[in-house]
Amino acid sequence: MKAKPETIAHVSVKEYCFTKKEVKGEVKASQFHWDFTWSFGKGTLFVQPPLGRALIEDSLLRFLLKKDYELEAGNEYKFTISAKF
């Protein structure tokens, strides 16, 4: 049986501000690197740079929503994406 493709994404939370209702950080997967801002008060996720953004945006948002109350500034997290890139 053939193994399913997967990529490990590494998330680093740089800032978690309850006043602004926002999380800032970076995510790395394979050779890609993005900075993100998640405005959980507005329900929006902004990912930069745009190169490869479509690869990570949905998976990152699902991860952030799932781990919302566990996230802390300065901590490192990881999650698995069901795709190889």
pLDDT in tens, 6-58: 999 999 999 999 999 999 999 999 999 999 999 999 999 999 999 989 989 99
pLDDT given at position 73? 96
Answer yes or no: is pLDDT of 71 > 90.
Answer: yes
Please report, for the chain, the start and end positions of each structural domain, with discontinuous segments joined by +.
Answer: 7-81
Among candidate residues 78, 60, 62, 66, the one with its CA nearest the CA of residue 24:
60
pLDDT at residue 67 in the model? 94
How many residues are present in the chain?
A: 85
Which H or E run contains 81?
strand 76-81
What burial letters (b/e) apply to 46-75, b meaning 16+ CB within 10 Å?
Answer: ebeeeebbebbbebbbebbeeeeeebeeee
| pTM recorded for the entire structure | 0.91
